[in-house]
Chain A
């Protein structure tokens, strides 16, 4: 780790970094037509965070509507469109593609010592499918008015409303294909392109997480694609698959939708779980505790995750037996996640912990993800779910899991890997204090929703009863604090990656392969193919027992 000590001006500029144009194209085209996984990853990042920003603005507006009971700020139609867009953008355009297409694209080949993914051109094609899908979804805004169905597009409402549902759903369908292709690409990459010596159990845990995620993408996404296509067919040709009057079944839609959308939760959360393991191993300077248990629990979550979709439908009127089985399986799927959490804490035991910003993000994750996960137990239990489903309690629960768990680790991962991507460091002091601001804002924003939900505040309401006013106001103030924190974070990261002090190949003392090449890496990733001897988190200086 000699390079940590070098003053920034003495760190040599990397020759032939992937940020320089070398191919036949110049300027913007050199990016837009690049099949380099690193450039594609960065292009995805720009797109994803643009959508995220739009989603956040919509979220702030959703909260602002609650400034007074009675919903005077926006008329109902607008509020209904706002939460639909907020949900569709956040879910389909931001968190589902999420970490795999951005950091996965960038770091999967680096972590397994490959030059690129297995099918670089398919990778670029997936990117354009994503762009086209997103464009189609955005077109829906300008045709027939904003969709107002909620991100779940439940029938029969979604078949009746006159708004641009058909187009929006078709856009989501296209984005789904991008997801499937990326999954296939990553699976092939992991199977075929690992560096010599990297056996399955020498793969970094982020790679394991991407592996499990890719399976979910490949197996679950087609169900979504078919379901959405059935909506389009029903709307355009009036086929009565989900239409009760024509002998169809509206609850069938809910089954199909959640058969995809529950596993999709694991598409959102498995990759961040992988990154948590990476960050902990680096900043504790020791190996991860229970490597195999963590790797296998990713797979267990991916597969049991298919069997629990019915927990979204406990009040839809399934049979008692179905309700019972789904509740039972839901509790079982909680166990592998719990095991991971215990292993992560155990990995800090006797470490030599350096709480740099990425590690602080992990600590915030542990708090927020635990709250999210434990509140999931309340929703897995039948009696309490019947009371709390479709209330603010659920809104709080999934924001804690997806935002507090998944997205906070996405941010943590940016703090971890940005120095590798751009060869420069952001301001660490600002990053750490800003995390505290975001953490406080987040809890003020969402914790009151648990309480309001328990007191019976339904979700997707543009208005509320006066007794909720105080809680609503706390939550609104929280949303402002959170957003202030987000802005500071992005400014700090962007400024750092352009103007920050230079760093060498391994600023954190990480042990996985991406730290063994230049920062930023060259187009070829490695000067010569690395050979793997040790387990991924082998810290030379650590004592062993």
Chain B
């Protein structure tokens, strides 16, 4: 497959994202406070943090699905004020329409303004990329959780977004498919850079994919109030594709796991964040 046909599959201009002083409370419960983050055009940023710390909430704000209590988000040079066509989100749950075939589910992602024969081709191309061509005619109840996640990813890619928001897109995949999908994402990104924000629980995945890893969470100091903000931002050294076993990454990995509160039994390292 030539990279020009790939360009057709996710062709759009990457857009920068700027989050300034974002706070979000649900009633009394403060989830996010003073989150600020600048994401460059075409950058891949991984969000990690303990369960319930507000990763999905932050992602939903970037996608315009939720309104901040304070602060602002800008994509490109226009603020996000509501649902935003410049971004596409793959939710933490696959959210497939049960009465549609996989093909027709991916079609939901097509930009609504223009639908042509070429779009149909793109849909089948995307299904091929996520290795689901054989199953394209099936209904969601007939497929596994991991397959559903890949459909959801293909649907988000169909949107050709400037900002791609992925909420644990590979969480339900077996180890081998997960690695393959990570490589697929990187290839797509190399062919036509979109800005990607990816939420993950997997530190290795974050280090393999991202330019920067953002650790979200509450500081241990005010543990009574578990409100999250950006605890650390780690710039991952080197260029993609990275060596999954590199020593540099091992150090960062230990640091990030430490940040997540996982004892790594490594020698203490000096912070580079």
A and B: real partners? no
Interface residues in chain B, defined as those with a beta carbon under 8 Å from any beta carbon in chain A: none
Interface residues in chain A, defined as those with a beta carbon under 8 Å from any beta carbon in chain B: none
